Amino acid sequence: MRTIQVSHIEAFSSIPGKGNPAGVILEADHLSEATMQQIAYAVSFNETVFVLKTNLADVRLRYFTPGHEINLCGHATMAALYGLKMRGLLEGKDSITIETNVGILPVQFEQHGSACFMEMKQDQPQ
Cα–Cα distance, 45 to 61 (Å, whole number): 16
Residue 27 among the catalytic residues: no
- Selecting among 27, 47, 110, 119, the annotated active-site residue is 47
Q: Given CA atoms 18, 46, 52, 101 in this order, what sign does their dihedral have?
A: negative
Dihedral angle sign, alpha carbons of residues 35, 69, 97, 90: negative
Q: Which residues are catalytic?
A: 47
